[in-house]
Chain A
Amino acid sequence: MAKKPIGPVRRDYAPWDDPASVPFIEFRNVTKRFGDFTAVNNLSLKIYEREFFALLGGSGCGKTTMMRMLAGFETPTEGEILLDGQSLSGVPPYRRPVNMMFQSYALFPHMNVEANIAFGLKQDDMPKAEIADRVAEMLRLTKLESFAKRKPHQLSGGQRQRVALARSLAKRPKVLLLDEPLGALDRKLREETQFELMNLQEDLKMTFLIVTHDQEEAMTVADRIAVMDAGEIVQVATPGEIYEAPNSKFVADFIGDVNLIEAKVEETSETGTRLQAVHGNYVIDSAQSVSASKGETVWYAIRPEKVRMELGEPSGGDLNSAGAIVWDIAYLGDMSIFHSRIGEASLRSTVANVTRTVERPISWDDKVVLSWDRDAGVILTE
């Protein structure tokens, strides 16, 4: 497939596409077992300097274990981890140049905000004046100046989160690890904080590694995302690629909403592939060429917002066009989700409610035509 940029490109920064660039963090064939349970299975991963990298996956997928191995709280059963070219094996957590922001924030309850932020600096025997300067800088950066003398229990959830962030940033670590950093915040505050994190990372020019189960959060903040499942990485790519070009049914299904259409390969060439849908009588024409033989069952993944819907019946013979009957409608305000039946199968499509009133509203049991562009979806063989 021609390398056409997918999704918004954040900046002139894509070291992962450059074979000459040297990774900053490298997991080399890392395996971690807890008794009989394999949390991380023979996993290799490269993260680059100044990258905002997200580990995304459901609970128990091994993402937290990855982060804890990097911080030094767990030792890999096999394989090794390198940071800036140095192996980390045998280095205890308190000698690693990485700092972590904990999910529970883990603020020291018996110390005030200032003392919490200064704690890491004191461990390095930094001169007192310098500590004071750095603490003041951190307080300013996280807008906590007026709370310096408060104890953690005298702060709101959002303030605690900022103290935790300030504390982990104070030592200017080579890598900042964020373990579900925004999980305890309410939705509005979370969205605000996501943008603050991104700006902070850009200003400080640091490498951030975030662990999250929230795909929206990962998509918002990260340069690249690694989707994990059962101790393995399923796909590593930019948010745009993950969404628009998932490499498997798992990723397509995990990120966002998707229609997975079961289809059989009819013909395949260098310029595209034709598929016959298993349910309903229509032909899918895709610009993607796949290495699959005729008659093989594949899945065509298409996002609901890329499916157009019009009242009427198909003229017959059109490609990427199927007749359907509206089965269910969910009105969400900003958009509506339509479930339409094509024979046994069902297809979702979304319509953005761009006007307040609609001249010819589509209703239950209406006959509609669903259609899409040649490059709207991807063919998945696994």
Chain B
Amino acid sequence: MASETSSSAPKRSLGGWALIAVPYFWLFLFFLVPFFIVFKISLSQIAVAIPPYFPAFDLGQGLQVLFADLKELSLENYIFLTEDDLYWRSYVSSVTIAAISTFITLLVGYPLAYGMARSPKEWRPTLLMLVILPFWTSFLIRVYAWIGILKNEGLLNQLLLTLGLIDQPLTILNTNIAVYIGIVYSYLPFLVLPLYASLEKLDGTLLEAAEDLGCPPWKAFWKITLPLSIPGIIAGCFLVFIPAVGEFVIPDLLGGSNTLMIGKTLWVEFFNNRDWPVSSAVAVILLLILVIPIVLFQNQQQKMAEREG
């Protein structure tokens, strides 16, 4: 009797409004307002001043000054972004690296999630915890751990040299390959968890029915398991792809000087060049690029919630 028990918009008491108002106001002030400030500063110009941009907008100086300041805003920084190919190459390279890494993560994560879902029931909580545990350990530490493995005199090269598989140490650190490894490693739990959830829910009798109807197991996987796990695949891929595009730590520590990623470009622009207006413009464009997958992801999540609810 779901329709009978679901209540319509309730009459709200003062406490009810306060409950909404406090987190609403907090997020509004510390999440939404900052974006408008970023947008505004992206239209300003760099200045040798504190803060290092112009115009600074001081409401205390009256409306006339404010209007005068408004006229100073321009799209100059955005034009600059199109002129210097560093920026658009960074965007393209970020999206490419994120996409390739997401695909590799899927290739690594699917067998893992599948193995977990098909393991004996009493193992599953433990396996699940083993996947979640790295998520709780520091991101920075996990990336750092790979430096010691991947560098020229690192553990991987030592191992391969000892085994006689190579004569010369491989150069992996400070290349894009190291970045792929770092992203796959760091974001693997994000992909495995939703994928495992959708695989675990899969009704085992469906596969038995398919086999009963004459479908061999490998074919049953392609025809039954894979299609039914697509929501999990999509959710997992979004959870890897979206944050990977804006990643900073991984390309900075594992990537080389020619690894271009927009998160790193923004960081350098901000901390090294101290050009706040341009880094704001970089952030605005990055946000615009990410809005599409974020909206797609939210829609997919909502659709899944509706189908289940």
Contacts and interface: CB of A to CB of B under 8 A. Distances in A.
A60 B7 contact: no
B162 interface: no
A62 interface: yes
A37 B7 contact: no
Interface string B1-20: 10111111001000000000
A34 interface: yes
A37 B3 contact: yes
Contacts of B11: 75
A68 B5 contact: yes
Contacts of B5: 64, 68
Q: Which of B3, B4, B7 has the most CB of A within 10 A?
A: B4
Per CB-CB distance, the 10 closest pairs between chain A and chain B, nearest first, are: A64-B4, A65-B4, A59-B1, A64-B1, A34-B8, A39-B4, A37-B3, A60-B1, A34-B3, A60-B3
19 contacts: A34-B3, A34-B6, A34-B8, A35-B8, A39-B3, A39-B4, A59-B1, A60-B3, A60-B4, A62-B4, A64-B1, A64-B4, A64-B5, A65-B4, A68-B4, A68-B5, A73-B7, A74-B7, A75-B11
Interface string A204-238: 00000000000000000000000000000000000
Interface of A: 34-35, 37, 39, 59-60, 62, 64-65, 68, 73-75
Nearest to A75: B11
B24 to A, nearest CB: 25
A37 B3 CA distance: 8
A39 B7 CA distance: 12
Q: Which of B1, B6, B8 has the most CB of A within 10 A?
A: B1
Given A59-B1, A64-B1, 15 more contacts: A34-B3, A34-B4, A34-B8, A35-B8, A37-B3, A60-B1, A60-B3, A60-B4, A64-B4, A64-B5, A68-B4, A68-B5, A73-B7, A74-B7, A75-B11
Interface in B1-59: 1, 3-8, 11
Nearest to A74: B7
Nearest to A62: B4
A242 B11 CA distance: 39
Contacts of B7: 73-74
A64 B5 CA distance: 8
A47 to B, nearest CB: 20
Contacts of B6: 34
